[in-house]
Structure 1
C-alpha cells in the first residue's frame, strides 16, 4: 500500500492554470498539493508548447535578421543552421522555466507529486508514480488543470518517423527540405513561419477559405501575404483523405484529388484535453469528443467538489487565459467566486507576429456600429526604420460619435507587446476610453509605441474629412 496524503485542495496538472490555482489557494491559507504526470513541473506550456516553440521562433528570427542585415553580411556568406542546431539553442530556456516553477511551489509550501492521477471517488485520487509505486491522496476539493495535447486521428500513423505533431516536432533530429503542415490554425501558421525562416519549402493546408478567420480581415490578409512572400504555399478549402508515409517521404492525399509529397508531415489540426486517464466516471463526470470537461461560470463541474480550468475546458486555450482561469477557479473553491472575463488579447507568434483585442471590422459592420479606422505603418516610424523592423502596422477601430476605442489590431515586430498599451485604454469605461488619449499623449521618440499617436491622428483626420 502506498503513502497517504491529505489536502484541502488538490490540483491535477502543473501548467499555467494549475500553478496559478495552487498558489492562489495556498496564499489563502489552504493546504494544497499538486500532481504532475511529467518528471518536472511546468506542464505542456513549458516543455512542449508555448515556451519551446516561442524560443525556437526567436532563434529563427535572429538568424533571419542576421542574414538580412547588410552590416553582418560583410562578415561572410549567409548563415544556414539546421533545425536540430536551432532547437538545441531554443531548448536552453526549459531548465530555467522548470527551476522557476519549482521554486514557486517550494516558497508556497505546495507538495508536488510526480505521477499519473486517477480518481477513486469524489474525495480520493491515486497517483501512479514513475518508479511503479502509488500514492493515495484525499482532498476536500479538486481542480483539474491537465491541459491538452495534439489531436491525432486514428487513420494517421504517428509512429512513423516522418510524421510529426506539434509535440513530437520538437524531437525532430534532421532538417527536411520540404514539409507539409496540415492545419492552418495558430500553431500551424507559427510553424509554417519557423520552417520557412529556416529555408524549408512549406505547404500549409487550410480547411477553411482564409487564414485565422477570427482575426480582422486586413490582418489575416497581411499574414497570408507574408507567409507566401517567404515561400509558403498556402492551400485553402482542402481536407485530407489519406496519409501515406514511406522510407523516403510522406504523401498527403487531399479530397480535391491533389497529392502532395514532402520529406515530412507536421499535423496541427486541433487539440484534445488530457482526461482519458483520470477515470472521470468514478466521480460522475465525462468529457466531450475532444476530451474537454464542461464547467459553469465559476469553473465548477457537474460534481460540486471538482473544478477545472485551462486547456482542458477548451476555448480560448491560451496560456495567458489559463493563468487567470486557474486563479478564478481557486477563488471559487474558496467560496469567493470571481468570473474571469475571457477577453484576453490574442498573441500569435508568426513571423511577423500578430496581436489583437476587441472587435474586428467585420463584427462592427455586422452590428451596424458607426466606426472609423486609424492606421500607422511601421515603415513610417523612426524606430522601425532604425531597427529594420519596418514590416507591419497598428490599426485602431473607434466609434465615430463617442471616440470610444473598439478594437486594436497589430501586425509586425513586437505586436504582442505593443497591444497592451491600447488594451489599458480599451478597458477603461466612460470618457477614459477615448482615442484622443493617444493623439494628445507624448510618447518616447523613437519608439514603436509612437505608432499609437500616428494611428490616432490618422483616424481623427478621417473623421474631420467626413464631417467638414
Structure 2
C-alpha cells in the first residue's frame, strides 16, 4: 500500500493549488484525476473554455469595435463552431502543459483513475486498464468539483438540447438559442451567443436574476441586454421541451407561450461530483446537490483528516476562491499555520458586458443600517472610454458616511473583472474616499473612473472634519457575526 502525507482527489483549481502548497512544504503528495488530462472542470469544461469562447466570439465578431464602425462591422463575416473551437484547443493544451510542469517541478505525483473510499484514510483507485490499487494518507482532500444538473424530464440529445459541458462540442452555431436558467453560467453563455448575433431567449422561474449583485448594476445590465434584442422571460417556468420533426426544439412555458428554437441550453444548476466516492465508507454524507459541509476556516469535514474545497463545498464556487480554499486546506492538513482568507473577495461574471463586484451592495448597506453615499462614473466620461468607442459601462463606489471608508465596489463594462482589483485593495486596506480624490491615476485609462466616482461621492459627502477620516470604524460596520455571515452567504448561494 502506498502511503502519502496528502492525497488530493481532483486536479482543478482547489486540487492543484493544494497539492503544490503541500509539496512546497516537503510533503509527499498524490493527485488522483479521473479525466483524460489534469486540470479538472475548470480547464476542460468550465472556467477556461467559457472565457476562451467569450474572447474568441468578441474578437471574431468585432464586437469591441462596433462603437466606431457600426453594428454591421465584422472581423470575420462567417463564424463557425470550428473557428471557436480552434482557439479553445490551443488554450487548453497550454493550460495542461503548464499544470503538468508545475506538478513535475514540485514533485507532485499524479495518477489517472476513479477514486473511492475504503476507509477514512484509504482510497481505492480504479485505473483505465482495470487495474485496482489502494493508497492511504494522513489527510485526504476532496476537490472533485461539480457537473451540470441533468434532470430526467429534459430530453438531452447532445445536439439540440444540451448542457454547458456539451456546448463545447457543438458542430454548428445556432441561429436561435433558448437558455433555461438565469444564473451565472446561463447568463454568461446567453450573452456570448448574443454577441455572435444569435437570437437568444432566457427563461427562469425567478422574477429576478443575479440577486447577489448590486441592484443598480443588474438594472443597467438588463437594459443593455434588452437593448440588443435579447428576450428575458423571468418569472416563467419552462414546463416542456420537445423535439420537432424538422430538427428544431419547442419550449413551452407555464404561461402557455411556445418558443421554437434551434438549440436549448439547460443551465439550471450543478451537482457535486461525489456520487462515485463511496462517502459512506469514510463516514461522510453529501447534501441533495452532492455538496459537502466543511468548517469555513479550515475546510475540514465532519470526519477528522478529510477536507473538501472548491465547488464541491458550494458558494461562492469561483476558481479564484477555490484556489485559496485548497491552499488553506492543504496547510491545515499537513499541520502548517494557515491564516483565514480575506473577508472581501472579488466576484467576476464573464458575461457581455462583464460584471465584477467586491464588498457590500447598496441593498446590504440598507439592511445593516449603515449611513452611506455612492459615487458613480460612466466609462464614456473617460478619455480612454472614448478612444475604445465605449458608450456603456459604469463604476459604482459605496462609502460610509461615518468613517468615509470604501465598503463596496461594483462595475459593469469592459475589463470590469480587471478594474475591480483596485477597489479590492483599497477596501481591504480600509481606505477612504480621500484615497481616490488625492491620488493620481494614469491618463487615459478606464481606471480613471475611480477618480471620477470618488470625486462624485466626495462632492456629496463634503470635506471630512479634521482627523475624522482616520476614525475607527463605527460599531455598525464591524464584521458580521458568524450567523449573519452564514445567512448572507446562503442568500447569495440561492441566488446563484
Q: Structure 2 CA distance, aligned partners of 1:216 and 1:69?
A: 26
2:317 corresponds to which residue? 317
The CA deviation at 1:70 is 4.9
Any idea what the Cα deviations from partners look like across 1:346-393, whole Å, max 9, x if unmatched? 100111101011111111112221111101110010011112234201
Q: Structure 2 CA distance, aligned partners of 1:317 and 1:23?
A: 20
Output the TM-score relative to the length of structure 2: 0.89
> Contact 2:179–2:200 at 8 Å: present in 1 too?
yes
> Contact 2:8–2:143 at 8 Å: present in 1 too?
yes
Could you say what secondary structure the match of 2:293 adopts?
coil
The CA deviation at 1:60 is 1.2
Using a 3 Å threshold, how does the CA distance of structure 1 residues 114 and 77 change in structure 2: closer, same or farther?
Answer: closer
> Contact 2:62–2:75 at 8 Å: present in 1 too?
no
> Contact 2:291–2:312 at 8 Å: present in 1 too?
yes
2:402 corresponds to which residue? 401
> Contact 1:309–1:329 at 8 Å: present in 2 too?
yes
The CA deviation at 1:66 is 6.5
Q: Structure 2 CA distance, aligned partners of 1:134 and 1:159?
A: 33
Any idea what the Cα deviations from partners look like across 1:262-309, whole Å, max 9, x if unmatched? 111101101110101100011111111100011123111111021100
Any idea what the Cα deviations from partners look like across 1:123-172, whole Å, max 9, x if unmatched? 21111112222222111110000001111112112235311111110001
1:413 corresponds to which residue? 414
Give RMSD over aligned pairs: 2.1
Q: Structure 1 CA distance, aligned partners of 2:303 and 2:436?
A: 48
The CA deviation at 1:466 is 13
Q: Structure 2 CA distance, aligned partners of 1:320 and 1:450?
A: 26
In the TM superposition, 1:120-199 aligns within 5 A as: 120-159=118-157, 161-199=159-197
Using a 3 Å threshold, how does the CA distance of structure 1 residues 56 and 75 change in structure 2: closer, same or farther?
Answer: closer
Q: Structure 2 CA distance, aligned partners of 1:142 and 1:229?
A: 50
Output the TM-score relative to the length of structure 1: 0.94
When structure 1 is superposed on structure 2, of 90-99 and 320-329 the one drifting more is 90-99
Q: Alignment length, in residue pairs?
A: 461
Q: Structure 2 CA distance, aligned partners of 1:18 and 1:5?
A: 20
The CA deviation at 1:94 is 0.3
1:83 aligns with 2:81: yes
Could you say what secondary structure the match of 2:62 adopts?
helix
> Contact 1:361–1:397 at 8 Å: present in 2 too?
yes
Q: Structure 1 CA distance, aligned partners of 2:7 and 2:314?
A: 21
When structure 1 is superposed on structure 2, of 256-265 and 192-201 the one drifting more is 256-265
Any idea what the Cα deviations from partners look like across 1:425-448, whole Å, max 9, x if unmatched? 10014xxx2111011101111011
Any idea what the Cα deviations from partners look like across 1:230-252, whole Å, max 9, x if unmatched? 22100111122222124512222
> Contact 2:30–2:109 at 8 Å: present in 1 too?
yes
Could you say what secondary structure the match of 2:394 adopts?
strand
Q: Structure 2 CA distance, aligned partners of 1:76 and 1:34?
A: 45
Q: Structure 1 CA distance, aligned partners of 2:74 and 2:9?
A: 52
> Contact 1:374–1:395 at 8 Å: present in 2 too?
yes
> Contact 2:5–2:334 at 8 Å: present in 1 too?
no
The CA deviation at 1:211 is 2.1
Using a 3 Å threshold, how does the CA distance of structure 1 residues 154 and 72 change in structure 2: closer, same or farther?
Answer: closer
Any idea what the Cα deviations from partners look like across 1:19-55, whole Å, max 9, x if unmatched? 1111111111210000011111111000000101001
1:303 corresponds to which residue? 303
Q: Structure 2 CA distance, aligned partners of 1:447 and 1:211?
A: 31
1:346 corresponds to which residue? 347
Match of 1:240 among 219, 223, 238: 238
In the TM superposition, 1:68-107 aligns within 5 A as: 68=66, 70=68, 79-107=77-105
> Contact 1:400–1:463 at 8 Å: present in 2 too?
yes
2:265 corresponds to which residue? 266
1:249 corresponds to which residue? 248
